[in-house]
Amino acid sequence: MNDHDENDPLDDFPPILLPEPGSVRQHDDRTGEDQFPGEPVRRRRVPAKIMVAATLLALVLTVLLDAQGLLRTAQRQQLGWERSLAVPVMKPIAHFSHDWYLDRPRDWVLRASGHEQPSTFTSTRGIKLASATPRPSTLAADGSTAPTSTTTTLPSYRIPTAAAPLKVLVAGDSLSDGIATSLSNALGGMPANVELDRHVGTGLARPDVVDWPLELTGRMDSDKPDVVVLIFGGNDAQALRMPDGWIRPDDTQAWHDEYERRVAQIMNIVARPGVSVYWIGMPVTNVASIQAKVPVMDEAVRVEAAARSPQVTYVDPGPALDGPGGSYTAYLPGPDGRNEQVRHDDGVHMTIAGTNRVVALFAQQLATTRHLAAPPPGPH
């Protein structure tokens, strides 16, 4: 009988090859070294703690060298806990990196590769400030915004139709997202299209990140909107980037003047003939570093809008969002009497309930003046 079975299932498996003697690495317990056959020098093992330390050091250096890029990435994240955590963590690291010139190698690499952040941007040179021109106050005796008179004589704007609807452009930082949604809902059923131009983590302070004058010039040329709604400020309580350096927030008068120039510059761009402009002020916040500049930013918008009234309207969000005495509050009574959340937990952004309230401040005026709705009845 043949000892080999032609149908043996083990024949289907490949043969197992055993290493030849001396072909595997040898370990010397005395020195902790490994040596492979044919190698003249034994291999030395790297202790795990050195590997961990080297990895951590590389991580720290990466964060410091690219701190500006990481901060910019954090600022551009969508609203949520990730952004709320990342931005406060990265800001002091970015400041440290910049103060100690650790971010310069990154700038050199970006410049050499042609991917550097723009070092030139639209200048405010020649922009005149409305605040430098004496004019009647826009404030009522109690300090609130003085109401404007209502008239049934409307400007000679075109009448929107379903075939040629009113074109509304909402633009700004992350605060503009909810504004666009609420305005679109408020104008629902009317011949109007609402478009959003939002850049998270941007504003008027850092034209090197997004050059808003250039951005809006392009949108005005291409989209030709009938109405422009703006909101900025969430990222502007910081040093103002200039072509030749920075204006620090603590340089109060210089900061105020330059910020107002940037507001005026934007208004000059969007307030084209036949265009209605609504600029929503920065709401009061629960973040001290931002709130310190909110009154200054809002006053700049208020002053420049008043100089261009009635084409440009300043929308004070305070009556819609503030608590007692103009204080910050996250909750306000809703239509049913129960409290509703109007601000997000980060203390800056508005919930959709909050943006609905702000939009209600000007939606009727917009609809009436742009012939989307009949004017309200006059006094009897």
Helices (DSSP H) in 226-293: which residue ranges? 252-270, 288-291
Give me the pLDDT at residue 106, please: 81
pLDDT value of residue 224: 98
Among 113, 147, 171, the domain-final residue is 113
- Convert the pLDDT of each residue in 13-25 to its tens digit: 566 555 555 555 5
Q: What's residue 99's pLDDT?
A: 86
- Nearest CA to 317 out of 272, 348, 276 is that of 348
Query: What was the pLDDT predicted at 217?
Result: 97
pLDDT digits (tens, 9 = 90+) for 254-309: 999 999 999 999 999 999 999 999 999 999 999 999 999 999 999 999 999 999 99
Long-range contacts of 134-139 (CB under 8 A, 24+ apart): 135/306, 135/307, 138/302, 138/303, 138/306, 138/314
Say if pTM beats, i.e. exceeds, 0.85. Answer: no
Residues 221 and 356 in one domain: yes
- The 10 Å Cβ neighbour count of residue 32 is 12
More reliable by pLDDT, 119 or 147: 119
User: Which H or E run includes 279?
Assistant: strand 276-280
- The residue ranking higher by pLDDT, 147 or 320, is 320
Give per-residue pLDDT as tens, 357-378: 999 999 999 999 999 987 666 5
In a domain, 18, yes or no: no
Residues 314 and 187 in one domain: yes
Per-residue confidence (pLDDT) for residue 42, from 0 to 100: 61
**Helix and strand element counts for the chain (H, E):** 12, 12
Chain-wide mean pLDDT for the chain? 84
Higher pLDDT, 232 or 88: 232
Q: Are residues 98 and 185 in the same domain?
A: no
362 and 314 together in one domain = yes
Q: Is residue 37 part of a domain?
A: no
Q: Is residue 4 part of a domain?
A: no
| Residue 195 shares a structural domain with residue 70 | no
Assigned domain for 378 exists: no
Confidence of residue 3 (pLDDT cuts 50, 70, 90): low
* 101 in the same domain as 176: no
pLDDT score recorded for residue 132: 75
**Does 359 lie in the same domain as 325?**
yes
Helix (H) or strand (E) segment spanning residue 217: helix 212-223
Q: Are residues 268 and 278 in contact, defined by beta-carbon separation less than 8 angstroms?
A: no
Whether residue 255 sits in one domain with residue 319: yes
Helix (H, G, I), strand (E, B) or coil at 230: strand
Kindly report the CATH number assigned to the domain that includes residue 349. Answer: 3.40.50.1110
Instruction: Show the domain range for 94.
Output: 66-113
- Write the pLDDT tens digit of every residue in 185-203: 999 999 999 999 999 989 9
Output 227 or 104, whichever has higher pLDDT.
227
| pLDDT for res 362 | 98
> In this structure, is residue 23 part of a structural domain?
no
- Indicate whether 268 and 314 sit together in one domain: yes
Closest Cα to residue 320, out of 365, 367, 356, 364?
Answer: 356
17 located within any domain: no
46 — pLDDT class (breaks 50, 70, 90): confident
Euclidean distance between CA atoms 331 and 337, whole angstroms: 12
Q: How many domains does the chain have?
A: 2
Same domain for 99 and 181?
A: no
Task: Answer yes or no: do 109 and 143 share one domain.
Answer: no
pLDDT of residue 23: 53
Query: Which pLDDT value is given to residue 209?
Result: 85
| Domain shared by 312 and 229, yes or no | yes
Residue 243: the pLDDT is 86
Which of the listed residues 52, 80, 113 is the one where a domain comes to its end? 113
- pLDDT at 117 exceeding the cut of 70: no
pLDDT at 146 over 60: no
| Structural domain includes residue 60 | no
The percentage of residues in the chain with a pLDDT greater than 70, rounded to a whole number, is 77
**Assigned domain for 167 exists:** yes
Q: How confident is the model at residue 251 (pLDDT cuts 50, 70, 90)?
A: confident
Q: What angle do CA 345, 349, 352 make, to 5 degrees?
A: 95
Residues 6+ apart with CB under 8 A from 68: 94, 97, 98, 103, 106
Q: Give me the pLDDT at residue 367, please.
A: 97
- Give the per-residue pLDDT at 69: 84
Burial class for 346, CB neighbours closer than 10 Å (0-12, 13-18, 19+): middle
